[in-house]
């Protein structure tokens, strides 16, 4: 029997055998607390309590505009560091912006526009000090793939451009909504394994598609799968331009060498950061002085001077392809969020500070909404640009402002200089960046730790490479959800044994030297009990009981007398779960086995009490710990044996 100690009469109504039953709460209060814990786990309103109205206004503005919090403390030394970092990332942002815009089948100038307005918005609303805002290759490829399936960017460039702006608008609305409603956990369905496989597959497809630029091909497939890409490449062997291929090989080798040197010595980070801009400058000069444009080397051509033109009227809300734009926006928005938040959190750990994921979502959403109205397409926090920003010594988001002003000067005065930039250089820049996204070591790490995660990763990779971006992403998410369902519907049940020379009970699979307790079966369920797993758990518990009885019979030991359920791992239970326990109780009673409960949680014991399960089992058979339950069961077994011995002796005496 559980040792509850002395309990006064007022407590006796809430405590049985030492197991306390929480006082019932009104349904609305309980629902309110559950919703608050789900959607407001960090209680953002806590800081507003007991504050005067003026202070609440200040805190509210600081929450949505973090620059108002750290701005007053900003110093000249910080600005010197941010100035250097901003100029450094601008040297990377300009060629990357042009390259990724071409990857998205958009005019190159759109890439520069996207590196001007969004970074300014993020600097005001973002909570990361290190994140550098810009376009990313994966989202660019997805934009080209999903919109290109409906509208040909070459045949109808204006409609395609307007759909890209519209997709960016809906991506921003979706991202901001997640942040405002605090639904960031939705992004968590993109597991680490999914992201590794998806990014690797996208990087492979992007690299293969850039062979078009390396070989100087004018016509190419709109499909992204590797079979279509390779067929398109080898069906045009006679159109390959050796001049372009040689130029591409030289610049790709230079970019990879610069990256290798930067990785070997962190102080040489500037080599990798400056290499894309140097490639653009050298390639442009080479084409200009050798007239390579006339010998099959394709160039960007004329870029318009001037800042971002407004594009509010270009949003295609009335287009017949609006559904495609919305789908593209939501999918690219999720991918951009996953990469941006992962990158921001990674670098915040290096500097030992915290970023608010929901604030980040609002910031991403607002900068993409603003970007869609100012001729930009989807942006986030790319890893390469952020790594350069961090290594350059940035101190705050002001580095984004510096980068934006550098891009502004480029748009106002320097765009004519990019006329002779060869396409092959842009392809080389993209390929060199993509090779860093194929993370072989991460895939091997997944194989060594969790084979199912490795399957998810490989499925995402091959889904993207041999299918499409959407197929790879959906396949990986479905496998991740399937695993989640399996964990819920097939929870683990463990048989516990006693660790020698202790009062600790642990899994006999993990600790083979743990002792079985004669006549007692101790089971632990390591998951909440819901309708989805109650039938399985009933069958699994009865199977454990059958196996234990067979073992005892085979060893000619005493029969099974008690089954102890350790409920310490059960966080919650529903009516299907309580019904399942009732059925188990009925089965054990039929076999002459006593069901005992140990260590139930507050929510569980409350529901068991309301379901009359406690009354059915007997309040005295509920215990705080497994040890107490085993001691009581052993005592009852020994008492039964003693009683039987005494009965035998008395019967023998009577016979004499």
Residue 485, domain member (yes or no): no
Number of other CB atoms surrounding residue 269 within 10 Å: 19
Share of residues in the chain with pLDDT > 90 (%): 30
Same domain, 391 and 523: no
Q: How far apart are CA 143 and CA 157, in angstroms?
A: 14
Provide the pLDDT confidence category of residue 291 given band limits of 50, 70 and 90: confident
Cα 108 from Cα 346, distance rounded (Å): 30
Instruction: Yes or no: say if 344 and 355 are a contact pair by the CB < 8 Å rule.
Output: yes
Single residue among 391, 410, 435 that ends a domain in this structure: 435
Q: Are residues 342 and 413 in the same domain?
A: yes
Do 410 and 498 reside in the same domain of the chain?
no
Q: What is the dihedral of CA 220, 226, 231, 234, to 10 degrees?
A: 80
Other Cβ atoms within 10 Å of 209 Cβ, number: 25
Is there a domain that residue 24 lies in?
A: no
Residue 43: predicted pLDDT: 53
Predicted pLDDT at 4 = 40
- Residues 90, 239: one domain? yes
Same domain, 112 and 222: yes
**Chain segment 412-439, per-residue pLDDT in tens:** 998 888 888 888 888 888 888 778 778 8
Q: Are residues 248 and 395 in the same domain?
A: yes
Per-chain mean pLDDT for the chain: 84
- Considering the domain architecture, whether residues 519 and 377 belong to the same structural domain is answered as no
Q: Decide which of 297 and 31 is more confident.
A: 297
Whether residues 412 and 500 fall in one domain: no
The model's pLDDT over 440-470, given as tens digits with 9 standing for 90+, comes to 888 899 899 988 889 888 988 898 888 877 7
Using an 8 Å Cβ cutoff, are 654 and 632 in contact? no
Give the span between the Cα atoms of 171 and 108, in whole angstroms: 21
Task: Reduce the secondary structure of 362-376 to three states and give it as a string.
Answer: HHHHHHHHHHHCCCC
Residues 128, 220, single domain; the answer is yes
Rounded to whole angstroms, the Cα distance separating 207 from 222 reads: 14
Q: Is residue 196 a part of any domain in this protein?
A: yes
Tell whether the torsion through CA atoms of 430, 306, 281 and 80 is positive or negative.
negative
Asked if the structure places residue 627 within a domain, the reply is: yes
Domain termination site, one of 435, 450, 479: 435
Indicate if the pLDDT at residue 374 is higher than 60: yes
Residue 257 lies in a domain: yes
Q: Domain count for the chain, please give it.
A: 2
Torsion of Cα atoms, 252 then 258 then 260 then 261, to 10°: 160
Of 185, 104, 211, give the one whose Cα is nearest residue 469: 104
Same domain, 508 and 389: no
Q: What is the pLDDT of residue 47?
A: 63
Residue span of the structural domain in which 289 resides:
79-435
User: How far lies 550's CA from each of 149, 559, 598, in Å?
Assistant: 63, 9, 25
**Is residue 153 within 8 Å of 162, Cβ to Cβ?**
no
Q: Is there a single domain that holds both residue 204 and residue 268? A: yes
The answer, yes or no, to whether residue 190 has pLDDT greater than 60, is: yes
The answer to whether position 69 is within a domain reads no
**Distances 633 to 90, 601, 615, 628 between C-alpha atoms, Å:** 73, 21, 19, 9
Q: Are residues 245 and 360 in the same domain?
A: yes
User: Is residue 465 domain-resident?
Assistant: no
The CATH number assigned to the domain holding 603 equals 3.30.750.24
pLDDT attached to residue 13: 45
Instruction: Evaluate whether residue 54 is within a structural domain.
Output: no
- Mean pLDDT, residues 498-507: 89
pTM of the predicted model as reported, rounded to 2 decimal places: 0.74
Residue 149 CA to chain centroid, in angstroms? Answer: 28
Residues 639, 497, 574, CA angle at the centre, nearest 5°?
A: 95
Question: What backbone phi and psi angles, to 5 degrees, belong to 653?
Answer: -65, -40
What are the tens digits of pLDDT across the range 25-82? 676 766 666 666 555 555 555 666 667 777 778 877 887 888 888 888 889 999 998 9
Domain boundary at 400, 416, 435, which? 435
């Amino acid at each position: 029997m559980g040792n509850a100690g002395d309990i006064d009469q007022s407590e006796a109504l809430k405590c049985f055998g030492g197991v306390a039953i929480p006082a019932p709460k009104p349904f609305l209060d309980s629902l309110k607390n559950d919703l608050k814990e789900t959607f407001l786990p960090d209680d953002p309103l806590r800081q507003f309590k007991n504050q005067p109205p003026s202070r609440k206004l200040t805190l509210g503005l600081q929450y949505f505009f973090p620059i108002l919090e750290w701005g007053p403390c900003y110093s000249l030394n910080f600005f010197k560091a941010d100035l250097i970092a901003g100029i450094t990332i601008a040297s990377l942002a300009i060629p990357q912006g042009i390259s990724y815009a071409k990857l998205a089948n958009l005019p190159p100038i759109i890439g520069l526009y996207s590196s001007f307005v969004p970074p300014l918005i993020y600097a005001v609303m973002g909570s990361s000090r290190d994140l550098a805002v810009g376009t990313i290759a994966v989202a660019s490829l997805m934009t080209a793939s999903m919109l290109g399936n409906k509208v040909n960017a070459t045949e109808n460039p204006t409609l395609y451009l307007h759909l890209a702006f519209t997709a960016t608008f809906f991506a921003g609305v979706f991202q901001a909504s997640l942040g405002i409603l605090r639904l960031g956990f939705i992004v968590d369905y993109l597991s680490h394994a999914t992201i590794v496989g998806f990014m690797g597959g996208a990087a492979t497809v992007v690299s293969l598609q850039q062979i078009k630029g390396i070989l100087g091909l004018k016509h190419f497939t709109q499909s992204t799968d590797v079979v279509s890409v390779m067929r398109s490449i080898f069906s045009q062997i006679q159109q390959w331009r050796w001049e372009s291929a040689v130029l591409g090989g030289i610049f790709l080798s230079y970019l990879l060498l610069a990256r290798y040197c930067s990785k070997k010595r962190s102080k040489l980070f500037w080599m990798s950061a400056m290499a894309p801009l140097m490639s653009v400058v050298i390639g442009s000069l080479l084409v200009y002085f050798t007239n390579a444009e006339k010998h099959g080397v394709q160039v960007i051509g004329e870029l318009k001077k001037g800042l971002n033109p407004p594009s509010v009227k270009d949003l295609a809300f009335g287009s017949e392809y609006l559904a495609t734009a919305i789908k593209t926006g939501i999918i690219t928005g999720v991918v951009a969020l996953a990469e941006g938040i992962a990158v921001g959190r990674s670098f915040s750990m290096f500097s030992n500070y915290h970023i608010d994921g929901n604030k980040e979502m609002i910031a991403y959403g607002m900068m993409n909404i603003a970007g869609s109205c100012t001729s930009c397409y989807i942006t986030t926090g790319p890893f390469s640009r952020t790594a350069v920003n961090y290594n350059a010594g940035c101190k705050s988001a002001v580095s984004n402002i510096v980068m934006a002003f550098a891009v502004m000067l480029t748009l106002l005065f320097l765009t004519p200089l990019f006329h002779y930039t060869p396409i092959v250089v842009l392809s080389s820049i993209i390929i060199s960046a993509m090779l860093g996204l194929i993370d072989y070591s991460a895939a091997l790490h997944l194989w060594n730790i969790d084979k199912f995660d490795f399957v998810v990763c490989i499925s995402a990779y091959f889904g993207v490479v041999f299918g499409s971006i959407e197929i790879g992403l959906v396949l990986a998410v479905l496998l991740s959800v399937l695993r989640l369902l399996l964990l819920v519907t097939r929870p683990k049940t463990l048989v516990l044994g006693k660790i020698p020379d202790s009062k600790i009970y642990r899994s006999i699979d993990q600790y083979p030297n743990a002792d079985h307790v004669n006549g007692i079966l101790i089971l632990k369920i390591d998951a909440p009990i819901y309708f989805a797993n109650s039938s399985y758990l009933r069958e699994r518990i009865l199977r454990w009981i059958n196996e234990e009885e067979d073992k005892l019979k085979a060893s000619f030991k005493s029969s099974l007398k008690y089954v102890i359920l350790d409920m310490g791992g059960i966080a919650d239970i529903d009516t299907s779960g309580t019904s399942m326990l009732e059925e188990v109780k009925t089965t054990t009673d039929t076999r002459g086995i006593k069901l005992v409960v140990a260590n139930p949680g507050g929510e569980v014991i409350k529901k068991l009490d309301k379901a009359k399960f406690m009354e059915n089992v007997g309040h005295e058979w509920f215990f705080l710990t497994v040890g107490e339950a085993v001691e009581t069961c052993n005592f009852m077994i020994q008492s039964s044996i003693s009683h039987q011995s005494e009965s035998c002796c008395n019967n023998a005496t009577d016979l004499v």
